[in-house]
């Protein structure tokens, strides 16, 4: 086997009785002197499995104990080309375990797993030809507008009283989930797995805490070895009114404690964002489209920011689901050029009935025009010689909060104490102050002194300004984000320069350091 692939040890044993989750199967792995422990899971029909993803080459020794036993070793070869391990948060960006940059360009198909086989297969084919390298979908089925079909499979079996028995996983369902995770892994697509949600009429949103932890225990044992999985605690978590803040925190801690691989974890909001300072939370996940907030989120949490729900390109009558294709592209560019990441969604219907197959809910095919243009942005940013981050000019005044500004005013710092804007800001409320700070940060990302990308968004200016290092020379291009064109506007420039723009929305400037200068 190879580094970052999943080793599966498959064993035959006795019937586990009434509890198919907390089975006594424990594996010890030793690789290059490092010790790892993983719990096994029951896979049905007397079969037990243990999974492990080796993070480095070497001789892997394993010993399985409990109701089944096994021992052996595997030679782990270096990773195949294109295999990089799990995605991890590093400061405000993401990287694979081997250090390769990862820039998420995601999409959402909430009820992917709960559609007819032919629809799921069509969705997988669509994803193969799409620019998306991340997908969000749910474990539990969804009952909502355009999505009221009854699924054939559920995560659990029912007991004799007709209630869900979380101790008896439905093996056929989990095999289907694993199949799709593996197929996405082959495509290079990260799976942001939504563990809970409130769009329910089967009773899953009313599981008690013990039942929730039993369900999560099986998720950990069975799924956590896959390198391309992220944990999303919930979609619109506040709408799950049975769940208290303490319950959510306990579940986040449970995942953090029992996930041997340390996958990414966050929680998606309805109105009130999750507390992203939570130590088990790896990144900021938001339902929002206000890109200028991103710098403040970086200052507050120091973690990557993903706007996982920024609206949907489509034509349905609900306010969240009828963005123009241009506006979807526009929001992507704004978010990316403030140093964040964005997730696409699409809601096109042919007529007003619940049988329509909308991408956001059921998948199928993509009909919109934003996808190609999001692909253009992904290709551009991935071509950069490193991971782009929000640009902070070296000579800019770094003000973090109102108390700091007041202190600077008291110290009579030139450019501050004599500036009426700063004096006015010192008397603002904290909310007003934070909002004002948003205007101080331009939507510019960069990679060192090699490349700079600035987006003008809705502005229709005929001139654009950018500040570049004096010690290098740059070629400047004007990018039309809708037409997907790149036009050289200037060469051999540096320092502060102005460039003539076409005076329309959706224009960006790219400045790349010239080679051989």
User: For 278-291, what is each residue's pLDDT tens digit?
Assistant: 999 999 999 999 99
CATH second-level architecture of 7-76? Answer: Sandwich (2.60)
CA distance 359 to 422: 47
Q: Write down the domain spans for the chain.
A: 7-76, 96-383, 442-513
Over residues 183-191, the mean pLDDT reads 99
Q: Residue 91 — φ and ψ, nearest 5°?
A: 65, -125
How much is the pLDDT for 285?
Answer: 99
304: helix, strand or coil: coil
Q: How confident is the model at residue 395 (pLDDT cuts 50, 70, 90)?
A: low
Q: What is the pLDDT of residues 255-265, one digit of tens each?
A: 999 998 899 99
**Are the C-beta atoms of residues 451 and 512 closer than 8 Å to each other?**
yes
Q: Confirm or reject CATH 2.60.40.3950 for domain 442-513, answering yes or no.
A: yes
Q: Residue 315 — φ and ψ, nearest 5°?
A: -140, 20
Q: Is 285 left (phi over 0), alpha (psi -120 to 50) or beta?
A: beta
Residue 181 DSSP code: H
The span from the first CA to the last CA of the chain, in angstroms, equals 46
CA distance 217 to 254: 9
Calculate what percentage of the chain has a pLDDT beyond 90. 90
Same fold, 7-76 and 96-383: no
336: helix, strand or coil: helix
As a whole number of angstroms, the longest Cα–Cα distance in the chain is 80
Inform me whether the pLDDT recorded for 292 exceeds 90.
yes
Closest CA to 314 of 366, 363, 353: 366
Q: What is the pLDDT of residues 46-100, one digit of tens each?
A: 999 999 999 999 999 999 999 999 999 999 999 999 999 999 999 999 999 999 9
How much is the pLDDT for 413?
Answer: 86
How much is the pLDDT for 415?
Answer: 83
CA distance 356 to 350: 7
CA distance 15 to 47: 9
Residue 144 DSSP code: B
State the alpha helices, DSSP H only, in 88-129. Answer: 117-128
DSSP class per residue in 447-491: ETTTEEEEE-TT---SEEEEE--TTS-EEEEEEETTTTEEEEEEE
| CATH, range 96-383 | 3.20.20.80
CA distance 503 to 462: 4
Q: Rg of the Cα trace of the chain?
A: 25
Inform me whether the pLDDT recorded for 339 exceeds 70.
yes
130: helix, strand or coil: coil
Over residues 465-492, the mean pLDDT reads 97
């Amino acid at each position: 086997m190879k580094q970052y692939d999943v080793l599966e040890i498959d064993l035959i044993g006795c019937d586990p009785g009434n509890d198919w989750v907390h089975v006594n199967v424990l594996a010890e792995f030793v690789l290059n002197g490092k010790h790892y422990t993983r719990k096994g899971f029951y896979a049905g029909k007397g079969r037990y499995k243990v999974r492990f993803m080796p993070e480095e080459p070497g001789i892997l020794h394993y010993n399985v104990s409990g109701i089944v036993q096994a021992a052996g070793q595997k030679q782990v070869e270096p990773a195949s080309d294109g295999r990089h391990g799990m995605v991890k948060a590093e400061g405000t960006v993401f990287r694979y375990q081997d250090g390769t940059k990862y820039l998420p360009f995601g999409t959402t198909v909430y009820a992917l797993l709960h559609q007819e086989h032919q629809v799921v297969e069509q969705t997988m084919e669509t994803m193969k030809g799409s620019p998306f390298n991340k997908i969000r979908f749910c474990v539990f089925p969804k009952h909502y507008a355009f999505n009221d079909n009854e699924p054939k499979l559920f995560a659990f079996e029912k007991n004799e009283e007709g209630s869900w028995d979380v101790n008896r996983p439905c093996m056929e369902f989990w095999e289907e989930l694993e199949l799709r995770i593996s197929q996405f892994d082959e495509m290079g697509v990260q799976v942001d797995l939504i563990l809970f949600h409130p769009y329910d009429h089967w009773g899953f949103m009313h599981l008690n805490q013990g039942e929730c932890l039993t369900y999560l225990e099986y998720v950990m044992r069975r799924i956590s070895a896959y390198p391309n999985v992220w944990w999303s605690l919930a979609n619109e978590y506040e709408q799950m009114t049975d769940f208290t803040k303490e319950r959510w925190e306990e579940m986040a801690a449970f995942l953090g404690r029992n996930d041997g691989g340390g996958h990414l974890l966050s929680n998606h909001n309805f109105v009130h964002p999750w507390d992203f300072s939570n130590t088990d939370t790896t990144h900021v996940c938001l339902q929002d489209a206000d890109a200028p907030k991103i710098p403040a989120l970086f200052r507050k949490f120091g973690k990557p920011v993903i706007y996982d729900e920024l609206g949907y390109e489509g034509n349905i009558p609900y306010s969240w689901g009828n963005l123009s294709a241009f506006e979807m592209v526009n929001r992507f560019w704004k978010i990316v050029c403030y140093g964040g990441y964005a997730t696409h969604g699409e809601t096109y219907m042919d007529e007003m009935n619940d049988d329509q197959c909308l991408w956001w809910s059921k998948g199928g095919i993509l009909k919109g025009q934003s996808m190609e243009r999001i692909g253009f942005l992904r290709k551009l940013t991935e071509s950069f010689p490193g991971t782009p981050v929000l640009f902070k000019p070296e000579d800019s005044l770094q003000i973090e909060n109102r108390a700091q500004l007041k202190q600077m005013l008291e110290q009579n710092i030139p450019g501050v104490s004599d500036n009426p804007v700063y004096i006015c800001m010192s008397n603002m409320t904290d909310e007003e102050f934070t909002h004002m700070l948003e205007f101080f940060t331009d939507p510019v990302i960069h990679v060192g002194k090699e490349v700079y990308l600035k987006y003008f968004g809705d502005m229709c200016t005929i001139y654009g300004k950018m500040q570049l290092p004096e010690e290098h020379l740059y070629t400047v291009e004007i990018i039309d984000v809708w037409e997907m064109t790149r036009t050289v506007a200037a060469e051999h420039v540096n320092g502060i320069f102005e460039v003539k723009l076409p005076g329309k929305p959706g224009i960006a400037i790219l400045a790349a350091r010239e080679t051989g200068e």
